[in-house]
Amino acid sequence: MDAPIIIYQMGNVSSSAVFTMLNEAENVNRPIYHLRTLRDDGIGRNIIDHADWEEKQDIVDGVQVRRLLASSDLSGDAPPEKKWKWITPVREPIARNLSAFFQDHQEYIPDMIGRWERGELSINEIRDEFIQLYDHALPLRWFDDEYKALFQLNVFDVPFDQSVGYLVLRTGVFDIMLLRSEDLDIFPAELFDEFIGVKGLVVKPVPEGNKRPYAEVYEAFKNEVRFPERFVKTMLESPYVKLFYSEDQIAGFMQKYVE
């Protein structure tokens, strides 16, 4: 089997745009997987939580990649065409968590859309539920939970060039690309061509949430909401944010979010 391309990400980081680009490209002849976790406990929890897990492609892909890892010889060096290609987009964590929260809003606030439309639920009340109920540390610990735990790769020891927004790590059998999802539409045209080894790959960003039932309240929330300074600082002063974003970018996020 040809070496796979694995879009390995924490969810809600615009990875669907990368998957669509690769899946629709006629000259990409490798198997493509799109998943959120490779941990045994993560996959196991997904299977337990979703009775229909065999219909959820990210869970199925996680199971398949774990099997591939277990059955493959990952020692030594592989020629370029045999190297596994890993693509991991990242995203500013407050925006990422908001996207995930609204996507699964029924889990946190039953009838959120209807209550907001009837004037029974304010933007600030949604904000307070978001702060209280969501697991905000998920993106901050994802690299430790996944890459470090499974592959002994500590990305926080790697110098990420914040001025370009992406980094390619090369090991014996893996090539790993880390990239900021905010920059998907401005990366050099040849970036994915060179990484995958084919020509003509172009990412077309997918508008987030525009066609979903919660689109109107989501847009209103993003336009109006402000957060307590302590909450924002906890997120933006994390090693995760400081690795991938410059001081100027972080200052911009502070200005965007703080009350």
Share of the chain above pLDDT 90, in %: 83
* Rounded CA separation 128/106 (Å): 15
**Per-residue pLDDT tens over the stretch 114-139:** 999 999 999 999 999 999 999 999 99
Please tell me the total count of domains within the chain.
Answer: 1
| Domain boundaries, position 104 | 5-257
* pLDDT greater than 80 at residue 207: no
Average pLDDT across the chain, whole number: 94
Higher pLDDT, 204 or 24: 24
* Rounded CA separation 3/101 (Å): 34
* Rounded CA separation 91/140 (Å): 11
Which letter, b or e, does each residue of 214-249 get, where b requires 16 or more Cβ atoms within 10 Å of its Cβ? beebbeebbeebebeeebbeebbebebbebbbeeeb
Lowest mean pLDDT across 42-51, 69-78, 97-106: 42-51
* pLDDT greater than 70 at residue 3: yes
Share of the chain above pLDDT 70, in %: 97
* Rounded CA separation 236/11 (Å): 19
Which pLDDT band, with edges at 50, 70 and 90, does 81 fall under? confident
**Which residue has tokens 């979703």?**
50
Residue 45: φ, ψ to 5°: -65, -40
